[in-house]
Amino acid sequence: MKRSVLITCGVLALLALGACVAGSAESQHAASDGALQQFLLGLWHGVIAPVTLILEIVNKFAPHVLPWSAHLYESRDTGVIYDIGFYLGLAGGPPIVLGGWSRR
């Protein structure tokens, strides 16, 4: 029972992350707003970059499996602020998330 709940939560988390990827209409709308929104959007896209990369690979080799298209980086209506957030999220996000999984 516990394992099936854990798997279900994992799948739901992946779907939620997949809905927030770069290239979506919501992402483009948020990127066209102010500097804080661009920074936070870039930070979020940097944190979820490993998952987005997997989604992009799936879309490349099985194009109709996922109901959305995934992009690693938001290229429209972004600026330097988005880039700073993206690189900070890329550098700091995955080690923080994966650091909890390490066994010492």
Residue 96, pLDDT score: 61
Domain count, the chain: 1
Is the pTM above the cut of 0.85?
Answer: no
**Residue 104 is assigned to a structural domain of this protein:** no
Inter-residue contact 55 to 21 (CB < 8 Å): yes
**Residue 9 is assigned to a structural domain of this protein:** yes
**Residue 20 is assigned to a structural domain of this protein:** yes
Which domain range does residue 73 map to?
2-99
**Residue 87 is assigned to a structural domain of this protein:** yes
Q: Enter the DSSP assignment of 1.
A: -
**Residue 81 is assigned to a structural domain of this protein:** yes
Phi, psi of 49 (to 5 degrees): -55, -40
Residue 63, pLDDT score: 83
Tokens in use for 3?
Answer: 């394992």
Q: With left for phi above 0 and alpha for psi between -120 and 50, is residue 77 left, alpha or beta? A: left
pLDDT in tens, the chain (104 residues): 788 888 888 878 766 666 667 776 666 676 677 888 888 888 888 888 887 888 888 888 888 887 777 778 887 767 888 889 889 988 886 566 566 555 55
Residue 3, pLDDT score: 84
**Residue 58 is assigned to a structural domain of this protein:** yes
